């Protein structure tokens, strides 16, 4: 039961922490963190961002892995409401963007139920950031004029075929979150329902971070080529993936920075 302290009004900020590189959070997000009494943060939030918070700020880890949730969603909702009702400035710090596969909508509805004030601070989602760092433009005038951000997990197993049949005939570029575990099935369904087996695909592990890895292939070959890629990873499907050969920059830059200065000058 949430009880509001008489005469005290708190507020909840749902802040997008960005895709992993701590420099990719918004200025507004940093300002809010620096004024927070309580921060509830997710597994994919770069913990360097917590350093912007005052020393006395309460920090609560809410991370979710496929096989384990530190807190259930209902518990997170209750904590947001509880601390705000005590007059606290509460930051819900979420990887990427709160409203793109971040359950931000569910949390806002819980806040509305108890008439708790809130504000949304958008973040850069990994669906656009990871391919950018991998050198893959999601759109290109001659190649792709449509993009879809989709989940690699369907609500019910029996819905899988209809779900991927719809997407196989849809946008030029697919950006798939949470799809690595089902990569083989996703490729199988897309080929079955009309995508060319030679359609290029990239699997990007921990995009925008120093451990970023990118593996490319086709719908026919990627399951074998990317079997070492684990979550968190983005899957990018479409002809734009071919442009990586010419545009990739981040991994090249990281490689150059790791070389001795003499090696760079002499190359």
Catalytic residue numbers? 42, 64, 178
- CA–CA separation, 215 vs 227, rounded Å? 10
Cα angle value 223/178/222 (rounded, 5°): 15
């Amino acid at each position: 039961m949430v009880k509001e302290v008489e005469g005290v009004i708190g507020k909840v900020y749902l802040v997008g922490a960005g895709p992993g590189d701590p420099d990719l959070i918004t200025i507004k997000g940093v300002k809010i963190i620096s004024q927070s009494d309580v921060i509830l943060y997710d597994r994919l939030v770069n913990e360097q961002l917590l350093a912007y918070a005052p020393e006395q700020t309460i920090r609560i880890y809410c991370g979710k892995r496929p096989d384990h949730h530190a807190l259930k969603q209902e518990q997170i909702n209750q904590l947001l409401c509880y601390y705000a009702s005590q007059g606290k400035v509460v930051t819900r710090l979420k990887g990427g963007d709160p409203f793109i596969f971040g359950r931000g909508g569910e949390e806002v509805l819980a806040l509305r139920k108890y008439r708790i004030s809130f504000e949304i601070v958008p973040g850069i989602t990994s669906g656009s950031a990871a391919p950018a760092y991998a050198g893959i433009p999601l759109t290109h005038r001659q190649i792709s004029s449509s993009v879809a951000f989709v989940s690699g997990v369907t609500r019910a197993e029996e819905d899988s075929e209809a779900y991927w049949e719809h997407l196989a005939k849809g946008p030029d570029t697919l950006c798939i979150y949470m799809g690595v575990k089902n990569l083989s099935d996703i490729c199988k369904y897309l080929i079955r329902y009309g995508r060319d087996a030679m359609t290029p695909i990239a699997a990007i592990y921990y995009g925008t971070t120093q451990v970023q890895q990118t593996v490319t292939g086709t719908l026919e070959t990627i399951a074998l080529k990317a079997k070492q890629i684990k979550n968190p990873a983005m899957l990018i499907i479409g002809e734009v993936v071919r442009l990586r050969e010419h545009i990739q920059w981040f991994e090249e830059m990281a490689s150059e920075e790791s070389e001795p200065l003499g090696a760079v000058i002499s190359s």
